[in-house]
Amino acid sequence: MKKVLVIGAHSYIGQKFKEYVSANDLKDLSVDMVSASDGTWRKVEFTGYDSVLHLSGIVHRKEKKSMEAIYYEVNHKLAVEIANRAKISHVKQFIFMSTAAVYGSYTGCITKNTLPNPTTFYGKSKLAAEQDIIQLQDDEFKVAIVRPPMVYGEGCKGNYPRLVKLAKYTPIFPDFHNKRSMIHINTLLEYIAQLLRYENYGYFHPQDKKYGDTCKIVLTIRDKMGKKTFLIKNFIILVILLKLRINIVEKIFGDFYYSMNME
């Protein structure tokens, strides 16, 4: 049995992972949860755990210049401090939940050769943590950096709920198609379970087997709501022009996907 300490007891992925292990009766994984934000992790003895899964961080907030310091304090410095604690406590594996945001505003297909270039405090602070934590790796302490794309599923936060809200009030939508890497929460949870079982290390880019398409996603959401959608081809030129000028339009309609050859 692998003893796992999850840092981020109140995180969406953390809570879902605990439920997943219990619901699927995964007897090979023993999971304990602790919060990082209130400092209770400092009271926990790390010795005896096989792996530490770090999920705590600041995300899904509208960024302001005044928030830069707190992003680095929580997403970078705190994560590194916890990783150091895990190493000196002889934990075998440290899994750091990073993000596709380390690639910034890159558009198109992300491959193994694509260099990270974050543009937000969130992405920059996560990349800074990655760079420091990976330096701790040695033969006795394995580090896994996970960079998931947009996560969707019941109760998820972030961009997907915004897309659902958009779909709810959008009877007319551009007939414009794109490619987006996405991952269902259950797929991500099983992926994490496998990393823990085999004590994998390195950089990981999990995603669904098929790319998402904003237009098709909206159609599917509205169909489940019992609502009709009218696709307008004349909007295509407008979308292309807006993509070049408005960031949110690029996020909705732009291409942002991992190569299927990436791990």
pLDDT of residue 247: 66
Handedness of CA 154, 159, 163, 166 (dihedral sign): positive
pTM of the model: 0.94
Please give the mean pLDDT across all residues of the chain: 92
Tell me what pLDDT residue 236 has: 67
pLDDT at residue number 248: 65
Q: Of the spans 148-157, 191-200, 231-240, 242-251, which averages the highest pLDDT? A: 191-200
Catalytic residue, candidates 122, 160, 211, 258:
122
Write down the domain spans for the chain.
2-152+182-210
pLDDT at 237: 59
The arithmetic mean of pLDDT across residues 160-175, rounded, is 88
For residues 19 and 59, which has the higher predicted lDDT (pLDDT)? Answer: 19
d(CA 41, CA 10): 13
Please check whether the domain covering 2-152+182-210 is classified as CATH 3.40.920.10. Answer: no
* 106-119 pLDDT tens trace: 889 999 999 999 99
d(CA 7, CA 14): 8
Is residue 242's pLDDT more than 80?
no
SS3 state of residue 54: strand
- Which residues have CB under 8 Å from 201's CB, separation 6+? 93, 137, 142, 143, 144
- Tell me phi and psi for residue 149, to 5 degrees: -80, -155
* Residue 122: active-site member: yes
pLDDT of residue 246: 58
